Amino acid sequence: MTETKTDKPALLSGGNPQTPKGYGDGPVQAYIAAMPDWKRDIGLRLDALIEQTVPGVHKAVKWNTPFYGVRDDHWFVAFHCFTKYVKVTFFRGTSLDPAPPGKSKQAEVRYLDIFEDRPFDEAQFTNWIKQASQLPGEKL
């Protein structure tokens, strides 16, 4: 009996897809397609809201995480899969009004955790995206 290798990305700790890094929409869509279960729908919705709010947004996958920015080297938001939620990272989150609820050890970073059984406020998310895209991005 021979084993066949699948093209499906491995899931890392917490169910985060292990996908190749790269710039552009392709790597981000590959990451979203590999997100497990209900998290895939969240990833698709986040991506769509970001694209609608920031036309021409730049995208990349780095460290198994989709990043969004106004330039390829200045990012304003990212998201990442964890076991029970999807964590959205606003790199200049303390400058947003109101600031997203999740605090970080990094001074300016704020988080929004999205759970399967708790819908997130898309209008507030869109407002944060609009504000975040107008701030200096995080160079990573």
Residue 26 or residue 15, greater confidence: 26
The answer for residues whose C-beta is within 8 angstroms of residue 101's C-beta and 6 or more apart is: 110, 111, 112
pLDDT for position 8: 65
Q: Which fold has domain 13-133?
A: Aspartate Aminotransferase, domain 1 (3.90.1150)
Q: Per residue in 60-100, pLDDT tens?
A: 999 999 999 997 778 999 999 999 999 999 999 999 999 99
Model pLDDT, residue 17: 82
C-alpha to C-alpha distance for 122 and 46, rounded to whole angstroms: 9
For residues 139 and 37, the model is more confident at 37
Domain boundaries, the chain: 13-133
- pLDDT of residue 1 exceeding 50, the answer is no
For the entire predicted model, the pTM comes to 0.89
